[in-house]
Amino acid sequence: EILLTQSPATLSLSPGERATLSCRASQSVSGYLAWYQQKPGQAPRLLIYDTSIRATGIPARFSGSGSGTDFTLTISSLEPEDFAVYYCQQRDNWAGTFGQGTKVEIK
Amino acid sequence: ELQLVQSGAEVKKPGESLKISCKVSGDSFTNYWIAWVRQMPGKGLEWMGIIYPRDSDTRYSPSFSGQVTISADKSISTAYLQWSSLKASDTAMYYCARLISVGGLDIWGQGTMVIVSS
């Protein structure tokens, strides 16, 4: 089972700032790396799939990159609605795992 | 538009059985894998397993294999997650979601809260 480690656990930033979230895998991921946003009391929302493709309706300020074992979600300029918890997720041979999450909070 | 609608919240006692559901509407139920995801109170997301309703091919995460059963009924476009003997540690929100071919879960149900308490 591939383990995903996200860092940092918490990111304290102000609106307008750039957010960089990291996701490191215990072994190489095939490319099926996705990112989700979750707000309190809501189901997760898919932001990015296949490492770098934005899901339908996701603003261009969200971008994903990486390969192998190191992946990054970047939010270029934080909007008030972006403060939430973010998870990475991989699927390797139909066995999926999630990272433990990064909370992006208002500084 | 594809929608996943889950059954309502449940309060059960330890040792009881439970089956929760995820009804799919708006697209062909048999064309996609359906995943189940657990979220314990205040915690992160955990991948439980997936099912392909066309042939009921099911893949479990090692942590959940033998602990739950995932099934599907094509005739009513519904996926299920069931327990034969609940434990207090099964208290969590459970989500179903559609798995797209490139690995992401693009459409989610609203979640089913399961509380197990004596």
B52 to chain A, closest Cα gap in Å: 11
pLDDT of residue B19: 98
Identify whether the C-beta of residue A17 lies closer than 8 Å to the C-beta of residue A80.
Answer: no
Identify whether the C-beta of residue B83 lies closer than 8 Å to the C-beta of residue B90.
Answer: yes
Q: Of B97, B98, B99, B92, whose CA–CA distance to B10 is shortest?
A: B92
Query: Nearest-CA residue of chain A relative to B39?
Result: A43
Q: Of A44, A43, A45, A72, whose CA–CA distance to A56 is shortest?
A: A45
pLDDT of residue B26: 86
Query: Nearest-CA residue of chain A relative to B33?
Result: A94
A15 to chain B, closest Cα gap in Å: 25
Identify whether the C-beta of residue A24 lies closer than 8 Å to the C-beta of residue A70.
Answer: yes
- Mean pLDDT, chain A, whole residue set: 95
pLDDT of residue A63: 98
A61 contact B CB<8A: no
In the predicted model, what is the mean pLDDT of residues A25-52? 94
pLDDT in tens, B22-75: 999 988 888 899 999 999 999 999 999 999 999 999 999 999 999 999 999 999
- For residues B30, B33, B39, B43, the Cα torsion angle rounded to the nearest 10 degrees is -160
* Residues in chain A closer than 8 A to B102 (CB atoms): 31-32, 49-50, 53
Q: What is the phi/psi pair of residue B29, to 5°?
A: -65, -30
B37, B44, B62: residue with CB nearest A1: B62
pLDDT in tens, B81-117: 999 999 999 999 999 999 988 789 999 999 999 999 9
Structure tokens at B48: 């439980």
CB contact under 8 Å between A33 and B47, yes or no, is: no
pLDDT of residue A31: 67
pLDDT of residue A30: 78
Out of A49-58, A77-86, A90-99, least confident range: A90-99
Structure tokens at A80: 């008030």
pLDDT of residue B101: 80
* Residues in chain A closer than 8 A to B35 (CB atoms): 96
* Residues in chain A closer than 8 A to B99 (CB atoms): 91
Task: Say which residue, B77 or B29, is predicted with more confidence.
Answer: B77
Band the pLDDT of A93: cuts 50, 70, 90.
confident
List all residues of chain A from 6 to 35 with a beta carbon under 8 Å from chain B: 31-34
